[in-house]
Amino acid sequence: MNGISSAFWDLLRPQAALAVGALAVLAAGASRRASLQVVKGLALAAVVVALLLLMTVRLQVVCLPLLRSDLLGSGLQAVFLSAAIPLLCLMEPADEVPPALVLGSLIGMGLIAVSGNLLMLFIGLELMSVPAYLLVARSRSPQALEASVKYFFAGGTASAIYLMGMALHFGAAGSLVLAPAPGPAGAAGLALMAAAAFFKLGAVPMHFWLPDVYEASDPELAGFFSTGLKAAAVLFLARLAPMAAPAGALVPALAWFAVLTILFGAVVALRQQNLQRLLAYSSISHAGFMMLAVAAWAKQGLAAPAAGALFFYLAAYLFMSGGAFLWLKAAGVRTRAELLGLAKARPRDAAVLAALLLALAGIPPTAGFAAKFLVFWEAFKAGLYAPLLLAGLGALISLGYYLGLIRDMYFDEAGPEPAKAVGPTPARWFALGCAAASVLLGLTPWLMDWFRPGMFGLRP
Amino acid sequence: MTQGALTILWLLPALGGLAALAGGRFSRWIALAVSLAALAYGFWLLGPLRTGVVAAAPQAPAWAFGIRYALFCDGLSLSLCWLTAFLTAACVVASWKKDYSAGYWAAFLFLEAALMGVFLARDLFLFFVFWESVLIPMFFIIGLWGTAGRRHAAMKFFLFTFFGSIFLLIGSVALVTLQHSATGVWTWDMAQLKGPEGRAGLMIFAAMALGFAVKVPIVPLHTWLPDAHTEAPAAGSVMLAGVLLKMGVYGFLRVLWPLFPRLSWQMLPLLGLLAGINVIYGAFCAMAQKDLKRLIAYSSVAHMGFCLLGIVSRKPEGLVGGSLQLLNHGIITGTLFLLVGFLYDRGHRRGLGDYGDLAGRAPWLTFFFGFTTLASVGLPGLNGFVGEFMSLLGMARTWSIMAVVGVAGVTLAAAYALPAFQAVFWGAPGPDSVSALVYDLDAREKGLFWVMAALMLAIGLYPGPLLRLLEPCLLGLAQ
Amino acid sequence: MSGVVWSVSAALFLLGLAGVALRRQLLAMFLGLELMVLTAALALGCTASLSGRGEGFVAALLVLAVAAAEAVVGLVLILRVRSSGRPAETQSLRELKG
Amino acid sequence: MSSLPPAALLLFLAPLAALAAAFFIMRPWKPQWTHVPILISCGVVTAAAAYLAAMVYTGRGADVTLYTWMFAGKWSVPFGVRIDGIGVSVLCMVALVGALIQLYSVGYMKGDPGFSRFIMLLHLFYLSMIGLLVSNNYVQFYLFWELVGACSYFLIGFWSHKEAARKAAMQAFLTLRLADFGLMLAVLLIIVQFRDTHFALFHAVRFFPSMYHPLIGLLILWAAAGKSALFPLYFWLPDAMEGPTPVSALMHAATMVTAGIFLLVRSWPLISAVPGLPGLIAVVGAVTAIFAAVLAFTQTDLKRILAYSTVSHLGLMAFAVGLGQITAAVFHLVTHGFFKATLFLCAGNIAHASGKSAVSVSEVGGLWRRMPLTFAAFAIAAFSLAGIWPCAGFFSKDAILDAAFERGGWAWAAGLAIAAASAAYIFRMLFLTFFGPRPEQSPARSLHEAPPVMAVPVAFLALGALAVGWAREDLVAMLFCGRQSAVAAPSLPELAPKVAAAGLGLAALAAGVVFALTMGAPSWDWHWRRRRPGLAAAFAGDLGWRRVVAGFVARTLRVADVVGRVWDHETWDAAIEKTATACRALSRGGSAMASGGLSESLWWLMIGAAALLAWAGLR
């Protein structure tokens, strides 16, 4: 018994810490004595402890058919845990519920990271999504409720579709383990489950909920969604990848859906006036690149460098996109018109956003370029030549709005209503930190020689 | 020449740029000091280059990616670094009187750092990173301090070049991957890479050539050049025409020729034809222009056509002549743009019809403009001729018809350059002419142009030292 | 896994799907949603019983539990829409677009 | 090859030093004294030329390389000096005539604001012409060839405020560039063929026949036609008269225009190796000579008459080269330099005195009383041009007529026609300008003799026009001795009395006829112009050739406009920019899809799931 319990405990230490944190937060809130700052502090502490515990997780441990962990899972777990830190610092919750919801959502994501079978995957998926619906509902913008209702119904449908896929798979394979299921029923099941994964990622035609949710929620929450939730969604898709038969239809479908997502996201973002909606479409475009990376990873039989590329893309994206949303919070800017001539009024803020945008655009020497370069390289190694070219075209189109924003800030005179309000200083420090990280991480291609799997205590 | 010594060459302007950003009022002095220091250091590097310690071998092979921070330097790279440093210093001196913010000076230093990086990079990935990061400072230079249509021009410049470099990136990735599948080693080192044969090799060559062609520019992909030149500030145009165009041709010379020796020789007819088209097309377009800067931009297209003719011919004369023409064109067109910049500072107009009869009002400006126009037209005795003649000779020994086209280009050069000179400096002033505003050059400007004129005359009459510097590294590429 | 179970669950699933997609009232859509989830649970259960693998039952039970949680949140949202004075229909949720 | 004679170095160093002194010292300090260093340098150069002539006369030439100019791989181009018969003989004429004209120009340009600029430009031309004559390989020759063209642009367009001067300068430079296209291509092909362009190696060229030979020959002829104003490309020379008179005298009479003939003479071994090419040159020369002589007869402006006369005589020299008589061509080149310079300077005196830059025939008449010295000089030069016995022209033209006589047939007829025509137009000019003013003429009151600084050079040149002929044997000796003389050509034929008599008779006949016409009752010159204005206009437009040239220029500009504006800017560039607008249109469509409706987003979700199912089903 202790073998199972020790493995079980070994894998779920971070989630346990989060759970304890969530209960502590609810208790503190209920007692009315603790102030909101204490509540947020507790939540933050829980996340930090979870991160530390994550370091001690031994890789490649399998516990029953339910749980197992690998490098990619742990890496992405680190990504969405650190994505929650700025959210918890900057959110101004009315009461103790939102921090608890965030911790709940993190537990769900953690479960996805360590899940070994479809059921655990479903539970993680739901545990991640449901708190998210409520978090969106609690945002301050007038359309928050509308966005959360749309998110709920779309999410619910997707979960239902996932369940039907799981049922089909169970019918065909007779077990819920993450392994390919024979016959047409298995393929159909996998297709349905993939549809749910595409929905969570925001791949095109299933993306319509994403811009509404990102626009309506507070900037820091949208930042968490674009980095944390997306990392979990990618992990969810990555868990499904081994189930695809190598000659199966999932990988080409994934590649072509990725291209469609990149191009559609980039093109539609060109004309967006609301900055959060623009960043939403940009995150859809980046989701396309992540899908391309997963396709390349699956095509190469789950090769380690491809996983490395996927992880690096998400790590860089954490700083770029997260930083961009945090900048919106820090600068108090909502629409593109307010950006006009910002460089003259607030040169420092403009420089931070310019750095983030150059990273998002994927222009060397930033981390964005290194990420895109690694994905391009893996896609070429996987033989996805046509999708690669179209992805490059997508990157070119995305320059239109990334550089467009820089052009508005630097090359134009101040517009009719210049941005006056300035957000809280911690947000500015977070944005600056993210900008610095997204530029300095650009050096990784040269540092990769030293990166050995056993380096950070993550024993393979 | 150790890696460290070469790193200083590009790191110095980069750090200088940071210092200039923080410099506030003193940033122009920092810019001047750093650019002159870079130039002096460049010349000092001639010593180690002479003693033969050229390429430091990179460290142990990599774990899984093969990307190393590796620099190297030979005659061609060093001369282009000199050109970069010299033109940057000239730009700083030329825009001294104007009240530009600290960002302006920093942008030029960052641009210089990135350009030096391109010319020194030995690792194909490092080459690409520097290649792309040149775009950022140039984008801001055109966009922030350009003239009326700067926004559109800056965006067009960036998108056009980015389009080219996507193909360059995919080509490089393909090259390295196929090299790995052939030899089992991941390496991005240009010295060890070899282009594959057959259809794959052709596709990679085409992709990378497209990336370089946008920068040269080769005719169908050139439409970013006139807009970028017209809208950029004077010093911006100098760097744009003076050095950025050289990156494309340098790409052909440093990447494509050594990596695809046989294939690039088989591509001679196509590349030769494109170079010929460049020369004639650029000349005819220049003849049709009414704006002085657009005219010089199109003349740059024609001149780069000559460089290409020389380099594509793969004969010793052609290769050395083409490389020398890179330097000559940098100096000549740099001077022309500085002169037009000073004219624009005074009259705030660029049209050919906006001036007239400046010979009386600004004799020194007329003298230097006439002198540089003659150099640009390829008058023997000045540096334009030496490069053009050797390039055409190279092509004459390979594909004589293209040499005939080249010589026709030389003739056409006079047909667009002199009418422009005459319209601005000799012509009768039109009704809305602003000649009254134009006053002559001051001591600083005259000093700058005396240096340029002396350089043109010296290279024109005694190109020996430069040829000795360029020859050893290019003879290997001859067919 | 006999065809009967599949035809029934497929029919029910499509019925639920139609409910969600076509109805205008939010509550009707919610019912459709729950029907889809329960159909999946039903399919899981039947498959488990036919193939004799106990996993299916465990899965069905857990699915029910999770669906319940989800239902709560859904209802809360619909109530919030009603309480904000807007009819609980898709037409009233049109502000976010573009 | 003996070591480099110091005098040869002086040819370069003296002008360079003078130019540097003038530009950096005299111009800022005392612009009106800039001519002092320049005239000193002229003296030094003339002395050096004389010394080199003596040296070559005693049989010692030189062909030395100063330094390697361009090199790459096995190929290299030297920068050197070559002192041989042909070079030195023309060098002496150029040095002497150039020096005298620069002295004359000090007086002529006294009051002009651009005085120092003019003197320096003229001396830069002087340097480049000398460089051209003593260079020892084709590439270096091309360097000075282009430099001379550039100097002519700045000198013709010296009075840049005059519209006509600007257009003439541009036309001259572009025509010369069109001609230089030929020379540059020829030099390239020579290097491709022979790997080396030293003149010394060319006398053995006959033994290496190659396919490029005829092409190189033709290109050299094309280049010479441009520079020496032979038929197709002569039209720039009459317009070049817009420049100040010393420029017309020095460049467009004595020195620059003869560079083309000098190139033909230098490349004679190459040309003679191509069958039929000398014949072509002879035909082109003859046609140019006759055509230009007829046009000279109908001109009204003094300098334009002399310009067409120069074109005619250049045609004559080319005719001589075509006939294989190199020595006669060089001899005529030298004598022509003297008498044509004299004629121009006399015209300059008249223009200077009348205060106008262009003097038409109707503004002169009966000047022999007011300007006796100019009249005397003009008469000697006119006699020399017409080929009357004591003057130099007689000997050189006679040599050419001998060659034409030997060739016989069309050549002999052409020779006689040229002799008669050239006598006709020069005597017409002489009678109209200096003899009794015709009723239609109204000479200006202020016409008086030129100041000494202008009169002395004219006198010297007139003396030269008289005496040079007698130095016939010495010149021939110089051409052949000097081991470097690469000219494998026949020596000058003896003076056949019959041919001389024919030439002299024709000249006298022409003089009489012209005298009758001009001095007769209805002054013929204005008479036929009134009766037949159409014909007069035709002659003014060079019998339609100017319209052909104008058409060519217009067509080039139209092509440029189509390529530059219509295609590059409005079609190709617009197409590329349209991709951006297409993206924006797509973007509008894409964002319209997000209609905000909840049901629509669910439908899209189901469509996506269905697509995936279908895709899975395909496998």
pLDDT digits (tens, 9 = 90+) for A6-33: 777 778 888 999 999 999 999 988 887 7
Task: Give the closest-approach CA distance of D619 to chain A in angstroms.
Answer: 6
Query: What average pLDDT does this structure show over B129-146?
Result: 94
Cβ–Cβ of B471/D72 closer than 8 Å?
Answer: yes
As a whole number of angstroms, the distance between CA D378 and CA D342 comes to 7
**A-D contacts (CB, under 8 Å):** 96
Q: Which of A404, A412, A446 lies at the smallest CB-CB distance from B67?
A: A446
Touch between chain B and chain C: 3 or more Cβ pairs under 8 Å: no
Tell me whether A185 touches chain B (CB under 8 Å).
no
Is residue B234 pLDDT above 60, yes or no?
A: yes
Whether the model clears a pTM of 0.95, i.e. scores above it, the answer is no
A381 interaction partners in chain B (CB closer than 8 Å): 177
A419 occurs within a structural domain:
yes
Return the residue of A nearest to B169 by Cα: A373
Is residue B150 pLDDT above 50, yes or no?
A: yes
As a whole number of angstroms, the distance between CA C25 and CA C29 comes to 6
Sorted by sequence, the CB contacts under 8 Å of residue A77 that are 6+ apart come out as: A14, A54, A109, A110, A113
Angle at A128 between CA A127 and CA A129, to 5 degrees: 95
Is residue D485 pLDDT above 60, yes or no?
A: no
A339 occurs within a structural domain:
yes
D72 interaction partners in chain B (CB closer than 8 Å): 316-317, 319-321, 390, 467, 471
Residue D82 DSSP code: E
A400 interaction partners in chain B (CB closer than 8 Å): 155, 159
> 10 Å Cβ neighbour count for B349?
18
State how far the alpha carbon of A27 is from the alpha carbons of A24, A282, D280, in Å.
5, 39, 112
CA quadruple A298, A302, A303, A309: dihedral sign: positive
Is residue B176 pLDDT above 90, yes or no?
A: yes
Query: What average pLDDT does this structure show over D387-395?
Result: 84
As a whole number of angstroms, the distance between CA D575 and CA D568 comes to 10
H helical segments located in D228-325:
236-239, 245-249, 258-266, 268-272, 277-297, 302-322
Tell me whether D188 touches chain B (CB under 8 Å).
yes
Interface test with C, best of A152, A207, A209 (most C CBs within 10 A): A152
pLDDT score, position D524: 77
Is residue D439 pLDDT above 90, yes or no?
A: no
Please report all neighbours of B, defined by 3+ CB atom pairs within 8 A.
A, D
pLDDT score, position A451: 59
For D9-18, write each residue's pLDDT tens digit: 888 999 999 9
Tell me whether B296 touches chain D (CB under 8 Å).
no
In DSSP notation, chain C reads --HHHHHHHHHHHHHHHHHHHH--BHHHHHHHHHHHHHHHHHHHHHHHHHHT-THHHHHHHHHHHHHHHHHHHHHHHHHHHHHTTS-SBGGG--SS--
pLDDT score, position D189: 92
Task: Give the closest-approach CA distance of B133 to chain D in angstroms.
Answer: 23
A226 occurs within a structural domain:
no
pLDDT score, position D470: 81
pLDDT score, position D483: 45
Return the residue of D nearest to A249 by Cα: D616
Query: What average pLDDT does this structure show over A418-429?
Result: 78
* Closest alpha carbon to A442 in A359, A367, A364, A362: A367
Q: Which of C21, C93, C95 lies at the smallest CB-CB distance from D606?
A: C21
Return the residue of D nearest to A400 by Cα: D580
Is residue A150 pLDDT above 50, yes or no?
A: yes
Out of A305-314, B293-302, D391-400, pick the least confident: D391-400
Domain count along chain A? 1
Tell me whether B82 touches chain A (CB under 8 Å).
no
Query: Percent of chain D, pLDDT > 70?
Result: 96
As a whole number of angstroms, the distance between CA D8 and CA D484 comes to 15
In DSSP notation, B262-309 reads HHHHHTHHHHHHHHHHHHHHHHHHHHT--BHHHHHHHHHHHHHHHHHH
Query: What average pLDDT does this structure show over A89-107?
Result: 90
pLDDT higher at B88 or B185: B88
Q: Print the SS3 string covering chain A.
A: CHHHHHHHHHHHHHHHHHHHHHHHHHHHHHCCCCCHHHHHHHHHHHHHHHHHHHHHCCCCCEECCCEECCHHHHHHHHHHHHHHHHHHHHCCCCCCHHHHHHHHHHHHHHHHHHECEHHHHHHHHHHHHHHHHHHHHCCCCCCHHHHHHHHHHHHHHHHHHHHHHHHHHHHHHCCCECCCCCHHHHHHHHHHHHHHHHHHHCCCCCCCHHHHHHHHCCHHHHHHHHHHHHHHHHHHHHHHHHHCCCCCCHHHHHHHHHHHHHHHHHHHHCCCCEHHHHHHHHHHHHHHHHHHHHHHHHHCCCCHHHHHHHHHHHHHHHHHHHHHHHHHHHHCCCEHHHHCCHHHHCHHHHHHHHHHHHHHHCCCCCHHHHHHHHHHHHHHHCCCHHHHHHHHHHHHHHHHHHHHHHHHHHHCCCCCCCCCCCCCHHHHHHHHHHHHHHHHHHHHHHHCCCCCCCCCCCCC
Query: What average pLDDT does this structure show over B383-407?
Result: 93
Tell me whether D556 touches chain B (CB under 8 Å).
yes
For A225-261, write each residue's pLDDT tens digit: 999 999 999 999 998 888 876 666 788 899 999 999 9
Query: How many Cα atoms are found within 13 Å in the side-chain-facing hemisphere of A59?
Result: 15
Instruction: State the greatest distance between any 2 C-alpha atoms of chain B, in Å, as a whole number.
Output: 72
A406 occurs within a structural domain:
yes
As a whole number of angstroms, the distance between CA D372 and CA B152 comes to 73
Interface test with D, best of A166, A268, A282, A336 (most D CBs within 10 A): A268
B92 three-class SS: helix
Is residue A348 pLDDT above 80, yes or no?
A: yes
Tell me whether A203 touches chain D (CB under 8 Å).
yes
B132 interaction partners in chain A (CB closer than 8 Å): 363-364, 369
Confidence of residue D487 (pLDDT cuts 50, 70, 90): very low
For B337-353, write each residue's pLDDT tens digit: 999 999 998 888 888 88
Is residue A291 pLDDT above 90, yes or no?
A: yes
Is residue D227 pLDDT above 60, yes or no?
A: yes
D75 three-class SS: strand
Confidence of residue D298 (pLDDT cuts 50, 70, 90): confident
Which helix H or strand E contains B3, and what residues bound it?
A: helix B3-23
Domain CATH number, residue C17: 1.10.287.3510
Is residue B479 pLDDT above 90, yes or no?
A: no
For B16-61, write each residue's pLDDT tens digit: 999 999 888 889 999 999 999 999 999 998 887 776 655 555 554 4
As a whole number of angstroms, the distance between CA D251 and CA D67 comes to 29
Return the residue of D nearest to C25 by Cα: D599
Is residue C95 pLDDT above 90, yes or no?
A: no
Is residue A460 pLDDT above 80, yes or no?
A: no
Query: Percent of chain C, pLDDT > 70?
Result: 98
Tell me whether D599 touches chain C (CB under 8 Å).
yes
Task: Give the closest-approach CA distance of D571 to chain C in angstroms.
Answer: 34
Range of the domain at C72: 3-91
β-pairing, A67-68 with D75-83?
A: unpaired
Query: What average pLDDT does this structure show over D544-561?
Result: 90
C27 occurs within a structural domain:
yes
Mean pLDDT of chain D: 87
pLDDT score, position B54: 52
Query: How many Cα atoms are found within 13 Å in the side-chain-facing hemisphere of A360?
Result: 39
D598 interaction partners in chain A (CB closer than 8 Å): 149-150, 153-154
Tell me whether D473 touches chain B (CB under 8 Å).
no
pLDDT score, position D486: 46
Q: Which of B220, B359, B414 lies at the smallest CB-CB distance from D177?
A: B414
Query: What average pLDDT does this structure show over D533-547?
Result: 84
Task: Give the closest-approach CA distance of A449 to chain B in angstroms.
Answer: 5
Residues of C with CB under 8 A from a CB of D: 17, 20-22, 24, 29, 90, 93-98
Range of the domain at A295: 252-452
Cβ–Cβ of A163/C63 closer than 8 Å?
Answer: yes
Instruction: Provide ipTM, 2 decimals.
Output: 0.90
Residue D594 DSSP code: -
For B419-452, write each residue's pLDDT tens digit: 999 989 987 888 888 888 888 888 899 999 999 9
Task: Give the closest-approach CA distance of B193 to chain D in angstroms.
Answer: 27
Confidence of residue B151 (pLDDT cuts 50, 70, 90): very high
For D405-430, write each residue's pLDDT tens digit: 888 788 889 988 998 998 889 988 88
C96 occurs within a structural domain:
no
B287 interaction partners in chain D (CB closer than 8 Å): 556-557, 560, 564
Q: Which of A376, A393, A452 lies at the smallest CB-CB distance from B169?
A: A376
> 10 Å Cβ neighbour count for C39?
24
Angle at C52 between CA C50 and CA C54, to 5 degrees: 120
C58 occurs within a structural domain:
yes
For D310-366, write each residue's pLDDT tens digit: 999 999 999 999 988 888 888 899 899 999 999 999 998 888 888 887 888 888 888
pLDDT score, position B458: 95
Query: What average pLDDT does this structure show over B243-248?
Result: 94
Tell me whether D602 touches chain C (CB under 8 Å).
yes
Q: Which of C37, C73, C84 lies at the smallest CB-CB distance from A133?
A: C73
pLDDT score, position B173: 94
Domain count along chain C? 1
Touch between chain B and chain D: 3 or more Cβ pairs under 8 Å: yes
Tell me whether B462 touches chain A (CB under 8 Å).
no
